[in-house]
Structure 1
């Protein structure tokens, strides 16, 4: 198993992290006055190499743990590794969730046409209408040149990016889940109203669910999880999130982003362990006012951490936050438009929709005649196309 895991990791480390690691080592050695050039790979990162690696590792580890039987069909295994709907940006599907579906042919009568169609249409709306316009009209200009904007615009751009990355990423996974279902395969859910979380732990149970559970099962638990005492647990949480951040990209900004969440999770656990269950503070946190305060703290913490995720480098993120601090109370004119505010509101409302809302919409869609379903879908797609901006950027997670 160890050899198999290493064989999965070697291509990822070479293509994605060699240049970054070489640059960091060269800088450290340079402090001693020694100039060493490690060279460069000189090649682009292969498409979806991170997700291919995750699927390969989970497969061999689950076989070792006895959670799944080794596939006797090379074609089935290759299909699992490279199934196109979720290949580039997830969700991360376990072998136990996918290979079993290949054991027998899919029954077309079990395909949820209505639910799949609504997922795909909802994903198109979130990506094309909300995320793309917010990025082009507001987020990209502000993050590109923060010095040209006042503190209010800078703060609003942080919240706008939180909406952008949710709408962009959840849109891809919704489309992937819908397309897979139309082909007869069931994918796990990847988002569950993440911005209503009252703790960072809850946030990660709701955000990129397949990644957070993957990190838990294949990194946090093998490191020791919560079995080695409090301080080892804190270490495991921080290390898991730092490596999770590094997985997103070979850059210091992603490491800082992961470290912020790791230290935040450790701080939450320390607070829970040091607070008496019957204490007034614990009772306050359970009250309506306490829950509101918890939501505000968690949401703003997540949004501030997103600054590192969005910025081209860690220095740019620090400069962005410092610019906000320097310009608090300034009277710079607002540049945010009413359309941007409407899009932000629409984007935030999309993540407030509970699963029951999709189920209700699916039930209504099922009652429509086939001609009506075709007309509705065609009209919705045409509307999205008409509202699409020119030169729309690819999905954010395509770079990972």
Structure 2
């Protein structure tokens, strides 16, 4: 359990040190938090600290000049000028700064995350055409969390250009972009959500500690116990060699991976939100029982919600959304989901994963519009129809997960082909694996207020009892968790 224990321990050390040192000196909070966040990030590689710092500087400068241009182009400022040309020029400057900032962020992301993929594919294409020469492969180590903090940076400068957020002070922006709980794996927190909390930081002595510890313990249990157990007991082995397993085990491994990636990613998110709460900050929700979705659109309203909203507001809507006819709407859906797949990784598997989601989203929209246009009644009674829609949605999601998890396209196809294996039973479909997999899926359908009831019950306990509950929970998680728990899956994105 070394890696999650380090992350969890580092979180608590930072929370304790920052709150303890800054209680008598509140002005030290932001410099100390920035320093702690940089040290936390630099633990993986100090080389990439300079990349993070460069991203902070570039985006603050872009935001500063874009905000200045926006102020000049405001109606009040324009009224003070005799010529309207001044306002026009300032509008051009604002748009130029925003475009330059977005290009810089995409350039950083492209070099460190996508250049090698592009270089290899272009070299293969040139070879197939009989053209000699190859693009250089840089073989950079992917900086941890680059996709998350780059998207946060872009949202900041775009929202400044739209007039939806005020320019942040340099130190505030540096803390916002490097804030350690969500720096390496989200959620994607926008400046409009974080800036007001930075400006009026609550007293850390009066934070919702019961809710925070409940989230942290829940996240640790999902990652250390559920996710790691399924990975070691069935998922890793079956995906590594699907032909050595029966079709039943392959299908179960796909279901188990659906649970694993949810428990892993939502587990980290719970920990990040809980730690932020201990510092007095509230992050947006990132998951809402996604496997109870009855359509793929519903799934994306529940899965990685901060990324879904980011793609909607900064890509889908600017492309035209659903305002320019059905053909353009379907095109926009495909573009968004293909780029969403590419955001996760620079391989064709992720592109196919996004493509599956894009195609099914378009088909769902086509069928919905056809029913609305023709007034066609549902073919099945409401209860049965909803169950069928859930089954179809869940299996589409699982099909896409095969490409997401597999190391290559050929490995994904081998995994799908192994579903038809009627022999080679390897004994991985144990009763405990089946119980954990389907129990976790069934847990998605628990009443939505169950966590609030547990939290309120925990909060009603005295501090001694609360400490005992937390201590016993940590011991239980440590005992139930396997040895050598892997890093969080989304650290690679």
Match of 1:166 in 2: 262
| Distance in 2 separating the partners of 1:330 and 1:42 | 41
Contact kept? 2:244, 2:424, Cα under 8 Å: no
Secondary structure in structure 2 of the residue aligned to 1:62: helix
Query: Which runs of 5 or more residues in structure 2 are unaligned?
Result: 1-97
Match of 2:358 in 1: 262
Deviation at 1:317, TM superposition (A): 0.7
Secondary structure in structure 2 of the residue aligned to 1:139: helix
Per the normalisation by structure 2, the TM-score is: 0.78
Match of 1:39 in 2: 136
Contact kept? 2:216, 2:270, Cα under 8 Å: yes
Larger displacement relative to structure 2 (109-118 or 81-90): 109-118
Q: 2:172 aligns with which of 62, 71, 76?
A: 76
Secondary structure in structure 2 of the residue aligned to 1:222: coil
> How does 1:381-400 map onto structure 2 within 5 Å?
381-400=474-493
Secondary structure in structure 1 of the residue aligned to 2:301: helix
| Distance in 2 separating the partners of 1:279 and 1:323 | 42
| Distance in 1 separating the partners of 2:370 and 2:336 | 23
- 1:241 correspondence with 2:337: yes
CA deviations on 1:204-248 (whole Å, 9 max, x unpaired) are: 000000000000001111111101100100000001000000000
- 1:14 correspondence with 2:111: yes
Query: Which runs of 5 or more residues in structure 1 are unaligned?
Result: none
Tell me the C-alpha RMSD between the 2 structures: 1.5
CA gap 1:212/1:354 in 2 versus in 1, 3 angstroms? farther
Deviation at 1:342, TM superposition (A): 2.1
| Distance in 1 separating the partners of 2:309 and 2:147 | 16
Question: How many matched pairs?
Answer: 396
Larger displacement relative to structure 2 (124-133 or 39-48): 39-48
- 1:374 correspondence with 2:471: no
- 1:343 correspondence with 2:440: no
Deviation at 1:335, TM superposition (A): 3.1
> How does 1:131-280 map onto structure 2 within 5 Å?
131-276=227-372, 279-280=375-376
Contact kept? 1:285, 1:294, Cα under 8 Å: no
Match of 2:48 in 1: none
Larger displacement relative to structure 2 (213-222 or 41-50): 41-50
Deviation at 1:346, TM superposition (A): 3.5
Contact kept? 1:225, 1:236, Cα under 8 Å: yes
Contact kept? 2:353, 2:403, Cα under 8 Å: yes
Match of 2:9 in 1: none
CA gap 1:202/1:277 in 2 versus in 1, 3 angstroms? same
Deviation at 1:279, TM superposition (A): 4.3
| Distance in 1 separating the partners of 2:410 and 2:231 | 21
Contact kept? 2:188, 2:307, Cα under 8 Å: yes
Q: 2:152 aligns with which of 50, 55, 72?
A: 55
Contact kept? 2:243, 2:414, Cα under 8 Å: no
Larger displacement relative to structure 2 (111-120 or 345-354): 345-354
Larger displacement relative to structure 2 (340-349 or 51-60): 340-349
Secondary structure in structure 1 of the residue aligned to 2:188: coil
Secondary structure in structure 2 of the residue aligned to 1:303: helix
Q: 1:112 aligns with which of 208, 220, 225?
A: 208
CA gap 1:278/1:231 in 2 versus in 1, 3 angstroms? closer
Secondary structure in structure 2 of the residue aligned to 1:119: helix
Match of 1:296 in 2: 391
| Distance in 1 separating the partners of 2:448 and 2:217 | 16
Deviation at 1:391, TM superposition (A): 1.3
Per the normalisation by structure 1, the TM-score is: 0.96
Q: 1:5 aligns with which of 58, 81, 102?
A: 102
Match of 2:413 in 1: 318
Secondary structure in structure 1 of the residue aligned to 2:317: helix
Deviation at 1:33, TM superposition (A): 1.5
Between structure 1 and structure 2, the one with the greater Rg is 2
| Distance in 2 separating the partners of 1:68 and 1:139 | 44
Match of 1:128 in 2: 224
